[in-house]
Amino acid sequence: MRTCRRVVTVLALSLPLAAWAQVPVQDGGTGNGSGYPAGGGGTSGAYAGGGVQTPSTAQGMLFSQLQQMQQEIAQLRGMLEEQQNDIQRLKQESLERYQDLDKRLSSGAAAGAAATQNSSAAGASNGAGGASAGAGAGDAGAQGSGEPADPAKEKLFYDAAFDLIKAKDFDKASQAFAAFLRRYPNSQYAGNAQYWLGEVNLAKGDLQGAGQAFAKVSQAYPQHSKVPDSLYKLADVEIRLGSNDKAKGILQQVIAQYPGTSAAQLAQRDLQRIR
């Protein structure tokens, strides 16, 4: 009797363990609705109809995302290289502009001194020097009524404006030359001042202002020695503005009217480049 009770007790205790042993273990809490893996035991954890991505599908998505990122990086690199090229081009143009200005600065001081000497000789000959290059009498075509002539004051004013160019303070230099021309439009330095007004406007990127200033040299001071240079620079401004036809006409004018000058030589070179 005791033996039977023991057998019953052992069976009762082992029954829960046997029941737990029959419960199937599922990976990720998904299944086919029956509580058992699809296709029988021994699967890798990917169940049919369970919506779980297979390793190959996940790898495909990662590869697609990687390709998209590589394409975006390539596009960004292309944009960056283009911007770097634009910046380099602008730097080169600015450098060439300043180098050209420095060359003209070295020759401008001598030209200003020559203009002063010629204007003095012109005054002694009752204006006969009006036809001489750089003479103050050649500036008689200037418009406007400024202050009475005062050579000493004019020279101080002009030199102060020219010093601003040497200091590369182009904004103030432009203002100073414009003020000088308003006060002394008939000065012996007016032709040079008008030309350098164009140069400083060009140096600071004001193409419209530079073109107007260069054009006025030949209009207001037709006999001045700076006329060939001002016309050449006017053609350069027109090229920068994209008006090649206008530039060609001006360059041809320089070559025809001022042969043998440095401006004519430069005009011949530029005329061949823009054809």
Domain residue limits, the chain: 85-116+144-273
pLDDT for 33: 44
Share of the chain above pLDDT 90, in %: 43
Tell me the helix, strand and coil percentages in the chain, rounded to 5: 70, 0, 30
Cβ-based neighbour number of residue 2 at 10 Å: 6
242: left (phi over 0), alpha (psi -120 to 50) or beta: left
Share of the chain above pLDDT 70, in %: 57
What is the CATH code for 85-116+144-273?
1.25.40.10
Helix and strand totals (H; E) in the chain:
9, 0
Report, as an integer, the average pLDDT of 194-201: 96
- Statement: residue 48 has pLDDT above 70: no
Angle at 261 between CA 257 and CA 267, to 5 degrees: 75
Q: pTM score, two decimals?
A: 0.53
- Statement: residue 146 has pLDDT above 50: yes
* Residue with the larger pLDDT of the pair 243 and 62: 243
**63-115 tens-digit pLDDT:** 888 888 888 898 888 887 777 776 766 555 555 555 565 555 555 544 444 44
pLDDT for 46: 42
pLDDT for 93: 57
